[in-house]
Amino acid sequence: MPSLDDAPLSEVQRTMLDLAFSCDLKISAHAEHEKIRERHQNITRSKDAADYIHEVETRIHTRRKFRPK
């Protein structure tokens, strides 16, 4: 029996992956887009999707500029 990390993506996971992909394209340089598209197309396991989503989320958080009150 495969582990949960190796499980195929559910519809919800695929949707979250696609959202992260869209965000990744928005925050990345145009020169990186082909590499990003290729990576997105090759993600089939839950663990890989979770890792990618986390990476994009981290990059978004580091780009934010907070103004303390």
**Three-class SS string for 14-59?**
HHHHHHHHHHHHHHCCHHHHHHHHHHHHHCCEHHHHHHHHHHHHHH
Q: What is the pTM of this model?
A: 0.82
Domain assignment present for 69: no
Domain assignment present for 11: yes
Domain assignment present for 68: no
Domain that holds residue 33: 4-63
pLDDT of residue 63: 83
Q: What's the number of domains the chain is made of? A: 1
Domain assignment present for 26: yes
Say yes or no to pLDDT of 62 above 90. no
Domain assignment present for 21: yes
Say yes or no to pLDDT of 64 above 90. no
Cα separations in angstroms, 61 against 9, 11, 54, 64, 65: 25, 26, 11, 5, 9
| pLDDT tens per residue, range 41-60 | 999 999 999 999 999 999 99
Domain assignment present for 31: yes
Domain assignment present for 37: yes
